[in-house]
Structure 1
Amino acid sequence: MKIRDEAAASEGAAAVGRQERRRRKLHDQLYETAVDLFVAQGFEATSMEQIAEAADVARATVFNHFSQKVGFLEEWGVRRRALVNEILGSQHAEDLPVGDGLRRYLKEMVDLNVVSRAETTVLMDASARYGRLLQDPSLEIELSRIVEQGQQRGEIRADVDCDQAGQLLAACYFTAILRWIREEPAPFDLHQRLTGALDIVLLGLLVGEAV
Protein backbone atom coordinates (compact mmCIF):
# COMPACT_ATOMS: atom_id res chain seq x y z
CA MET A 1 0.00 0.00 0.00
CA LYS A 2 2.79 2.39 0.89
CA ILE A 3 4.52 1.77 -2.45
CA ARG A 4 1.27 2.40 -4.36
CA ASP A 5 0.65 5.60 -2.38
CA GLU A 6 4.16 6.83 -3.11
CA ALA A 7 3.75 6.03 -6.81
CA ALA A 8 0.42 7.85 -6.94
CA ALA A 9 1.92 10.85 -5.17
CA SER A 10 4.82 10.86 -7.60
CA GLU A 11 2.46 10.72 -10.60
CA GLY A 12 0.37 13.51 -9.11
CA ALA A 13 3.44 15.68 -8.57
CA ALA A 14 4.57 15.01 -12.13
CA ALA A 15 1.14 16.03 -13.46
CA VAL A 16 1.23 19.24 -11.43
CA GLY A 17 4.74 19.90 -12.72
CA ARG A 18 3.62 19.46 -16.33
CA GLN A 19 0.65 21.73 -15.80
CA GLU A 20 2.85 24.41 -14.26
CA ARG A 21 5.35 24.18 -17.13
CA ARG A 22 2.53 24.54 -19.66
CA ARG A 23 1.09 27.46 -17.73
CA ARG A 24 4.51 29.14 -17.56
CA LYS A 25 5.12 28.55 -21.25
CA LEU A 26 1.79 30.14 -22.15
CA HIS A 27 2.45 33.01 -19.77
CA ASP A 28 5.79 33.68 -21.47
CA GLN A 29 4.16 33.44 -24.90
CA LEU A 30 1.53 36.01 -23.98
CA TYR A 31 4.14 38.33 -22.49
CA GLU A 32 6.42 38.14 -25.54
CA THR A 33 3.49 38.59 -27.92
CA ALA A 34 2.29 41.66 -26.05
CA VAL A 35 5.73 43.27 -25.94
CA ASP A 36 6.18 42.71 -29.69
CA LEU A 37 2.82 44.38 -30.36
CA PHE A 38 3.58 47.29 -28.03
CA VAL A 39 6.85 47.97 -29.85
CA ALA A 40 5.25 47.60 -33.29
CA GLN A 41 2.14 49.74 -32.80
CA GLY A 42 2.36 51.38 -29.38
CA PHE A 43 1.05 50.48 -25.94
CA GLU A 44 -2.10 52.57 -26.10
CA ALA A 45 -3.03 51.28 -29.57
CA THR A 46 -2.73 47.62 -28.55
CA SER A 47 -5.78 45.91 -27.05
CA MET A 48 -6.06 42.73 -25.02
CA GLU A 49 -8.12 41.31 -27.91
CA GLN A 50 -5.23 41.89 -30.31
CA ILE A 51 -2.83 40.19 -27.92
CA ALA A 52 -5.17 37.18 -27.70
CA GLU A 53 -5.52 37.00 -31.47
CA ALA A 54 -1.79 37.29 -32.09
CA ALA A 55 -1.09 34.59 -29.49
CA ASP A 56 -3.93 32.43 -30.89
CA VAL A 57 -5.71 32.07 -27.57
CA ALA A 58 -9.08 33.08 -26.18
CA ARG A 59 -9.43 36.60 -24.80
CA ALA A 60 -10.27 35.13 -21.38
CA THR A 61 -6.94 33.29 -21.39
CA VAL A 62 -5.06 36.58 -21.58
CA PHE A 63 -7.03 37.96 -18.63
CA ASN A 64 -6.33 34.79 -16.64
CA HIS A 65 -2.62 35.59 -16.85
CA PHE A 66 -2.73 39.40 -16.95
CA SER A 67 -5.84 40.93 -15.41
CA GLN A 68 -4.94 44.36 -16.84
CA LYS A 69 -2.84 45.50 -19.75
CA VAL A 70 -0.61 47.40 -17.35
CA GLY A 71 0.36 44.02 -15.92
CA PHE A 72 2.62 43.49 -18.93
CA LEU A 73 4.48 46.68 -18.03
CA GLU A 74 4.94 45.56 -14.45
CA GLU A 75 6.28 42.19 -15.57
CA TRP A 76 8.65 43.90 -17.99
CA GLY A 77 10.25 45.74 -15.09
CA VAL A 78 10.35 42.63 -12.90
CA ARG A 79 12.03 40.60 -15.63
CA ARG A 80 14.65 43.25 -16.27
CA ARG A 81 15.61 43.53 -12.63
CA ALA A 82 15.69 39.75 -12.30
CA LEU A 83 18.00 39.48 -15.30
CA VAL A 84 20.36 42.10 -13.86
CA ASN A 85 20.40 40.31 -10.50
CA GLU A 86 21.13 37.03 -12.24
CA ILE A 87 24.05 38.58 -14.13
CA LEU A 88 25.44 40.23 -11.01
CA GLY A 89 25.01 37.07 -8.99
CA SER A 90 27.07 35.11 -11.50
CA GLN A 91 29.78 37.78 -11.20
CA HIS A 92 29.65 37.80 -7.36
CA ALA A 93 29.09 41.55 -7.52
CA GLU A 94 28.01 41.57 -3.87
CA ASP A 95 31.71 41.30 -2.97
CA LEU A 96 32.59 44.55 -4.75
CA PRO A 97 33.14 47.84 -2.89
CA VAL A 98 29.87 49.74 -2.67
CA GLY A 99 30.75 52.29 -5.36
CA ASP A 100 31.77 49.58 -7.82
CA GLY A 101 28.70 47.53 -6.92
CA LEU A 102 26.36 50.43 -7.68
CA ARG A 103 28.21 51.22 -10.90
CA ARG A 104 27.98 47.59 -11.99
CA TYR A 105 24.24 47.43 -11.22
CA LEU A 106 23.49 50.62 -13.14
CA LYS A 107 25.75 49.55 -16.01
CA GLU A 108 23.83 46.30 -16.47
CA MET A 109 20.51 48.19 -16.38
CA VAL A 110 21.82 50.70 -18.92
CA ASP A 111 23.12 47.95 -21.20
CA LEU A 112 19.66 46.37 -21.29
CA ASN A 113 18.12 49.69 -22.28
CA VAL A 114 20.72 50.47 -24.93
CA VAL A 115 20.54 47.11 -26.72
CA SER A 116 16.72 47.30 -26.80
CA ARG A 117 16.20 51.04 -27.21
CA ALA A 118 12.98 50.71 -29.24
CA GLU A 119 11.45 48.44 -26.60
CA THR A 120 12.65 50.67 -23.76
CA THR A 121 11.28 53.78 -25.45
CA VAL A 122 7.76 52.36 -25.75
CA LEU A 123 7.50 50.44 -22.49
CA MET A 124 9.29 52.92 -20.22
CA ASP A 125 7.12 55.74 -21.54
CA ALA A 126 3.99 53.63 -21.07
CA SER A 127 5.11 52.68 -17.56
CA ALA A 128 5.44 56.36 -16.69
CA ARG A 129 2.07 57.24 -18.22
CA TYR A 130 -0.10 54.29 -17.25
CA GLY A 131 1.85 52.20 -14.76
CA ARG A 132 3.39 52.69 -11.33
CA LEU A 133 6.91 53.45 -12.52
CA LEU A 134 7.62 56.21 -10.01
CA GLN A 135 5.56 54.67 -7.20
CA ASP A 136 6.99 51.14 -7.42
CA PRO A 137 9.80 50.87 -4.83
CA SER A 138 11.39 47.75 -6.38
CA LEU A 139 14.42 49.46 -7.92
CA GLU A 140 15.13 51.68 -4.93
CA ILE A 141 14.97 48.59 -2.69
CA GLU A 142 17.63 46.89 -4.82
CA LEU A 143 19.85 49.96 -4.73
CA SER A 144 19.26 50.50 -1.01
CA ARG A 145 20.38 46.92 -0.39
CA ILE A 146 23.72 47.59 -2.10
CA VAL A 147 24.18 50.80 -0.08
CA GLU A 148 23.34 48.97 3.14
CA GLN A 149 25.91 46.26 2.37
CA GLY A 150 28.51 48.99 1.95
CA GLN A 151 27.42 50.58 5.21
CA GLN A 152 27.80 47.28 7.04
CA ARG A 153 31.35 47.03 5.70
CA GLY A 154 32.13 50.56 6.90
CA GLU A 155 32.29 52.08 3.40
CA ILE A 156 29.24 54.30 3.89
CA ARG A 157 28.78 56.73 6.80
CA ALA A 158 26.77 55.23 9.65
CA ASP A 159 24.38 58.21 9.66
CA VAL A 160 23.33 57.72 6.02
CA ASP A 161 19.73 56.59 5.53
CA CYS A 162 20.15 53.66 3.12
CA ASP A 163 16.51 53.76 2.04
CA GLN A 164 16.76 57.44 1.20
CA ALA A 165 19.99 56.82 -0.74
CA GLY A 166 18.22 54.12 -2.74
CA GLN A 167 15.33 56.46 -3.48
CA LEU A 168 17.71 59.16 -4.68
CA LEU A 169 19.61 56.80 -6.98
CA ALA A 170 16.39 55.31 -8.38
CA ALA A 171 15.09 58.82 -9.07
CA CYS A 172 18.32 59.65 -10.92
CA TYR A 173 17.95 56.49 -12.97
CA PHE A 174 14.34 57.05 -14.00
CA THR A 175 14.87 60.75 -14.74
CA ALA A 176 17.82 59.95 -17.01
CA ILE A 177 15.96 57.14 -18.81
CA LEU A 178 12.83 59.21 -19.42
CA ARG A 179 14.89 62.02 -20.92
CA TRP A 180 17.02 59.59 -22.93
CA ILE A 181 13.97 58.07 -24.68
CA ARG A 182 12.40 61.42 -25.61
CA GLU A 183 14.62 62.08 -28.63
CA GLU A 184 15.94 60.11 -31.58
CA PRO A 185 18.83 59.61 -31.78
CA ALA A 186 19.57 59.44 -28.07
CA PRO A 187 20.43 62.94 -26.78
CA PHE A 188 23.25 61.79 -24.49
CA ASP A 189 25.32 58.79 -23.44
CA LEU A 190 23.13 57.08 -20.86
CA HIS A 191 25.94 55.24 -19.12
CA GLN A 192 27.99 58.41 -18.77
CA ARG A 193 24.99 60.37 -17.46
CA LEU A 194 24.19 57.84 -14.75
CA THR A 195 27.82 57.35 -13.77
CA GLY A 196 28.08 61.11 -13.31
CA ALA A 197 24.94 61.18 -11.17
CA LEU A 198 26.26 58.32 -9.06
CA ASP A 199 29.57 60.11 -8.52
CA ILE A 200 27.72 63.19 -7.28
CA VAL A 201 25.72 61.09 -4.82
CA LEU A 202 28.80 59.25 -3.57
CA LEU A 203 31.11 62.26 -3.36
CA GLY A 204 28.66 65.03 -2.52
CA LEU A 205 28.61 68.61 -3.78
CA LEU A 206 30.41 70.68 -1.19
CA VAL A 207 34.16 71.25 -1.33
CA GLY A 208 36.19 70.77 1.84
CA GLU A 209 33.23 70.72 4.22
CA ALA A 210 31.71 67.96 6.25
CA VAL A 211 28.15 67.19 5.30
Structure 2
Amino acid sequence: MKIPDAGAAPQRDAPVLGRRERKRQQARDQLYEAAVGLFVAQGYEATTMEQIAESADVARATVFNHFSQKVGFLKEWGARRRARVAAILGQEHAENLPVGDQLRRYLREMADLNVATRAETTVLMDASARFGRLMQDPSLETELAKIVEEGQRRGEIRPEVDPGQAGALLAACYFSSVLRWIREEPPPFDLPGRLVGALDIILLGALTAP
Protein backbone atom coordinates (compact mmCIF):
# COMPACT_ATOMS: atom_id res chain seq x y z
CA MET A 1 0.00 0.00 0.00
CA LYS A 2 1.45 3.38 -1.01
CA ILE A 3 1.67 5.76 1.94
CA PRO A 4 0.75 9.38 1.14
CA ASP A 5 3.38 12.10 1.54
CA ALA A 6 4.01 12.54 5.26
CA GLY A 7 3.85 16.33 5.12
CA ALA A 8 0.74 16.70 3.01
CA ALA A 9 -2.67 17.24 4.48
CA PRO A 10 -5.33 14.89 3.07
CA GLN A 11 -7.42 16.32 0.24
CA ARG A 12 -10.31 13.84 0.22
CA ASP A 13 -13.62 15.71 0.42
CA ALA A 14 -11.70 18.89 1.30
CA PRO A 15 -13.79 22.07 1.07
CA VAL A 16 -12.88 24.68 -1.53
CA LEU A 17 -10.90 27.38 0.26
CA GLY A 18 -10.75 31.06 -0.54
CA ARG A 19 -7.46 32.77 -1.37
CA ARG A 20 -6.85 33.91 2.21
CA GLU A 21 -7.61 30.49 3.64
CA ARG A 22 -5.37 28.81 1.04
CA LYS A 23 -2.46 31.09 1.91
CA ARG A 24 -2.98 30.44 5.61
CA GLN A 25 -3.06 26.67 5.05
CA GLN A 26 0.05 26.87 2.90
CA ALA A 27 1.86 28.77 5.65
CA ARG A 28 0.74 26.21 8.23
CA ASP A 29 1.90 23.33 6.02
CA GLN A 30 5.25 25.06 5.49
CA LEU A 31 5.74 25.50 9.23
CA TYR A 32 4.68 21.94 9.96
CA GLU A 33 7.08 20.47 7.41
CA ALA A 34 9.94 22.66 8.65
CA ALA A 35 9.28 21.66 12.27
CA VAL A 36 9.07 17.92 11.59
CA GLY A 37 12.25 18.08 9.52
CA LEU A 38 14.11 19.78 12.36
CA PHE A 39 12.70 17.41 14.98
CA VAL A 40 13.97 14.42 13.00
CA ALA A 41 17.33 16.01 12.24
CA GLN A 42 18.25 17.34 15.67
CA GLY A 43 15.62 16.20 18.15
CA TYR A 44 12.44 17.71 19.56
CA GLU A 45 13.98 19.24 22.67
CA ALA A 46 16.87 20.82 20.77
CA THR A 47 14.57 22.54 18.26
CA THR A 48 13.36 26.06 19.01
CA MET A 49 10.49 28.06 17.60
CA GLU A 50 13.08 30.51 16.26
CA GLN A 51 14.75 27.71 14.29
CA ILE A 52 11.40 26.62 12.90
CA ALA A 53 10.70 30.18 11.75
CA GLU A 54 14.13 30.39 10.12
CA SER A 55 13.78 27.04 8.39
CA ALA A 56 10.34 28.00 7.06
CA ASP A 57 11.64 31.47 6.10
CA VAL A 58 8.95 33.32 8.04
CA ALA A 59 8.86 35.76 10.92
CA ARG A 60 8.93 34.33 14.44
CA ALA A 61 5.48 35.79 15.10
CA THR A 62 4.09 33.78 12.17
CA VAL A 63 4.98 30.55 13.95
CA PHE A 64 3.06 31.57 17.05
CA ASN A 65 0.08 32.66 14.95
CA HIS A 66 -0.31 29.05 13.83
CA PHE A 67 1.20 27.10 16.74
CA SER A 68 1.13 28.92 20.06
CA GLN A 69 3.39 26.27 21.64
CA LYS A 70 5.92 23.83 20.24
CA VAL A 71 3.82 20.95 21.54
CA GLY A 72 1.16 22.01 19.03
CA PHE A 73 3.26 20.45 16.28
CA LEU A 74 2.98 17.09 18.05
CA LYS A 75 -0.79 17.34 18.15
CA GLU A 76 -0.83 18.31 14.47
CA TRP A 77 1.40 15.35 13.62
CA GLY A 78 -1.00 12.90 15.23
CA ALA A 79 -4.04 14.51 13.62
CA ARG A 80 -2.50 14.38 10.14
CA ARG A 81 -1.56 10.74 10.49
CA ARG A 82 -5.07 9.77 11.55
CA ALA A 83 -6.52 11.80 8.69
CA ARG A 84 -4.27 10.11 6.14
CA VAL A 85 -5.27 6.66 7.36
CA ALA A 86 -8.94 7.65 7.32
CA ALA A 87 -8.53 8.87 3.72
CA ILE A 88 -6.95 5.57 2.67
CA LEU A 89 -9.73 3.56 4.27
CA GLY A 90 -12.34 5.84 2.77
CA GLN A 91 -10.95 5.29 -0.72
CA GLU A 92 -11.14 1.54 -0.11
CA HIS A 93 -14.70 1.81 1.29
CA ALA A 94 -13.53 -0.03 4.38
CA GLU A 95 -16.74 1.00 6.13
CA ASN A 96 -18.44 -1.83 4.24
CA LEU A 97 -16.24 -4.46 5.88
CA PRO A 98 -17.28 -6.36 9.02
CA VAL A 99 -16.36 -4.35 12.09
CA GLY A 100 -13.55 -6.70 13.09
CA ASP A 101 -11.96 -6.28 9.67
CA GLN A 102 -12.45 -2.51 9.85
CA LEU A 103 -10.53 -2.37 13.10
CA ARG A 104 -7.80 -4.62 11.71
CA ARG A 105 -7.47 -2.45 8.60
CA TYR A 106 -7.33 0.74 10.65
CA LEU A 107 -4.61 -0.51 12.99
CA ARG A 108 -2.66 -2.13 10.16
CA GLU A 109 -2.68 1.09 8.14
CA MET A 110 -1.50 3.03 11.19
CA ALA A 111 1.23 0.45 11.73
CA ASP A 112 2.29 0.52 8.07
CA LEU A 113 2.50 4.31 8.21
CA ASN A 114 4.75 4.10 11.26
CA VAL A 115 6.97 1.51 9.57
CA ALA A 116 7.24 3.63 6.41
CA THR A 117 8.28 6.70 8.44
CA ARG A 118 10.23 5.02 11.24
CA ALA A 119 12.72 7.86 11.88
CA GLU A 120 9.93 10.41 12.09
CA THR A 121 7.76 8.15 14.24
CA THR A 122 10.63 7.43 16.63
CA VAL A 123 11.23 11.11 17.36
CA LEU A 124 7.66 12.40 17.28
CA MET A 125 6.00 9.54 19.17
CA ASP A 126 8.63 9.67 21.90
CA ALA A 127 8.21 13.43 22.16
CA SER A 128 4.43 13.06 22.27
CA ALA A 129 4.75 10.63 25.17
CA ARG A 130 7.21 12.83 27.08
CA PHE A 131 5.99 16.34 26.37
CA GLY A 132 2.54 16.02 24.83
CA ARG A 133 -0.72 14.48 25.99
CA LEU A 134 -0.37 11.20 24.14
CA MET A 135 -2.34 9.00 26.53
CA GLN A 136 -4.79 11.76 27.52
CA ASP A 137 -5.73 12.85 23.99
CA PRO A 138 -9.05 11.12 23.20
CA SER A 139 -8.79 11.59 19.41
CA LEU A 140 -7.69 8.06 18.48
CA GLU A 141 -9.94 6.31 20.96
CA THR A 142 -12.87 8.36 19.66
CA GLU A 143 -12.20 7.18 16.10
CA LEU A 144 -11.98 3.56 17.24
CA ALA A 145 -15.09 3.91 19.42
CA LYS A 146 -17.06 5.03 16.34
CA ILE A 147 -16.18 1.77 14.61
CA VAL A 148 -17.26 -0.19 17.69
CA GLU A 149 -20.57 1.70 17.80
CA GLU A 150 -21.17 0.85 14.14
CA GLY A 151 -20.51 -2.78 15.00
CA GLN A 152 -23.17 -2.62 17.70
CA ARG A 153 -25.68 -1.13 15.27
CA ARG A 154 -25.00 -4.04 12.93
CA GLY A 155 -25.29 -6.57 15.72
CA GLU A 156 -21.64 -7.62 15.34
CA ILE A 157 -20.61 -6.46 18.84
CA ARG A 158 -22.44 -7.22 22.05
CA PRO A 159 -24.76 -4.36 23.10
CA GLU A 160 -23.39 -4.30 26.67
CA VAL A 161 -19.89 -3.37 25.44
CA ASP A 162 -19.06 0.27 26.22
CA PRO A 163 -17.75 1.74 22.93
CA GLY A 164 -15.80 4.44 24.74
CA GLN A 165 -14.06 1.93 26.95
CA ALA A 166 -13.35 -0.33 23.97
CA GLY A 167 -11.91 2.61 22.05
CA ALA A 168 -9.74 3.61 25.00
CA LEU A 169 -8.47 0.04 25.38
CA LEU A 170 -7.58 -0.23 21.69
CA ALA A 171 -5.90 3.20 21.67
CA ALA A 172 -3.85 2.35 24.77
CA CYS A 173 -2.80 -0.93 23.13
CA TYR A 174 -1.78 0.94 19.98
CA PHE A 175 0.29 3.58 21.77
CA SER A 176 2.02 1.14 24.11
CA SER A 177 2.91 -1.13 21.18
CA VAL A 178 4.34 1.73 19.11
CA LEU A 179 6.33 3.08 22.07
CA ARG A 180 7.89 -0.37 22.54
CA TRP A 181 8.51 -0.71 18.82
CA ILE A 182 10.42 2.58 18.43
CA ARG A 183 12.95 1.34 20.98
CA GLU A 184 13.62 -1.91 19.10
CA GLU A 185 14.77 -2.78 15.61
CA PRO A 186 12.01 -3.92 13.21
CA PRO A 187 13.09 -7.58 12.66
CA PRO A 188 12.27 -8.95 16.14
CA PHE A 189 9.23 -6.71 16.59
CA ASP A 190 6.57 -6.97 13.89
CA LEU A 191 4.45 -3.91 14.66
CA PRO A 192 1.53 -4.67 12.29
CA GLY A 193 1.43 -8.28 13.48
CA ARG A 194 1.64 -7.27 17.13
CA LEU A 195 -1.25 -4.81 16.81
CA VAL A 196 -3.50 -7.19 14.90
CA GLY A 197 -2.69 -9.98 17.36
CA ALA A 198 -3.60 -7.77 20.32
CA LEU A 199 -6.81 -6.74 18.58
CA ASP A 200 -7.79 -10.37 18.07
CA ILE A 201 -7.28 -11.06 21.77
CA ILE A 202 -9.53 -8.11 22.60
CA LEU A 203 -12.19 -9.11 20.06
CA LEU A 204 -12.15 -12.86 20.62
CA GLY A 205 -11.06 -13.05 24.26
CA ALA A 206 -8.36 -15.19 25.81
CA LEU A 207 -10.43 -17.86 27.54
CA THR A 208 -11.54 -21.04 25.87
CA ALA A 209 -15.26 -21.58 25.48
CA PRO A 210 -16.83 -23.30 28.51
TM-score (norm 2): 0.90
Task: Quote the residue 1:181 is aligned against.
Answer: 182
Structure 1 regions of 5+ residues with no counterpart? Answer: 1-15
Instruction: Give the C-alpha shift of residue 146 in structure 1.
Output: 0.6
CA distances 1:119-175 after superposition (whole Å, capped 9, x unpaired): 000000000000011000010011111111111111111111111111111111001
Distance 1:31 1:127 in 2: 15
Distance 1:167 1:32 in 2: 30
Task: Quote the residue 1:24 is aligned against.
Answer: 25
* Aligned-partner residue type, residue 59 of structure 1: R
1:97 and 2:98 matched = yes
Instruction: Show the 5 A alignment for 1:153-168.
Output: 153-168=154-169
Secondary structure of the corresponding residue to residue 84 of structure 1: helix
Distance 1:164 1:193 in 2: 21
TM-score (norm 1): 0.89
Distance 2:121 2:69 in 1: 20
CA distances 1:73-113 after superposition (whole Å, capped 9, x unpaired): 00000001111111111111111101100000001101110
What percentage of aligned pairs have identical amino acids?
75
Structure 1 residues 185, 104: CA separation in 2 closer, same or farther (over 3 Å shift)?
closer
Distance 1:171 1:129 in 2: 15
Task: Quote the residue 1:171 is aligned against.
Answer: 172
Structure 2 regions of 5+ residues with no counterpart? Answer: 1-16
Tell me if the contact between 1:176 and 1:194 (Cα under 8 Å) persists in the aligned partners: yes
Instruction: Give the C-alpha shift of residue 53 in structure 1.
Output: 0.9
Instruction: Give the C-alpha shift of residue 185 in structure 1.
Output: 4.8
Q: Which has the higher contact order (CA 8 A, sep 6+)?
A: 2
1:132 and 2:136 matched = no
1:36 and 2:37 matched = yes
* Aligned-partner residue type, residue 172 of structure 1: C
Distance 1:171 1:205 in 2: 18
* Aligned-partner residue type, residue 193 of structure 1: R
Of residues 53-62 and 67-76 in structure 1, the stretch that sits farther from structure 2 once superposed is: 53-62
Structure 1 residues 184, 205: CA separation in 2 closer, same or farther (over 3 Å shift)?
closer
Kindly name which structure, 1 or 2, has the bigger radius of gyration based on alpha carbons.
1
Task: Quote the residue 1:119 is aligned against.
Answer: 120
Which 4+ runs in 1 deviate beyond 3 A?
184-187
Secondary structure of the corresponding residue to residue 189 of structure 2: coil
Instruction: Give the C-alpha shift of residue 184 in structure 1.
Output: 3.6
* Aligned-partner residue type, residue 67 of structure 1: S
Instruction: Give the C-alpha shift of residue 45 in structure 1.
Output: 0.3
CA RMSD of aligned residues (A): 1.1
Task: Quote the residue 2:152 is aligned against.
Answer: 151
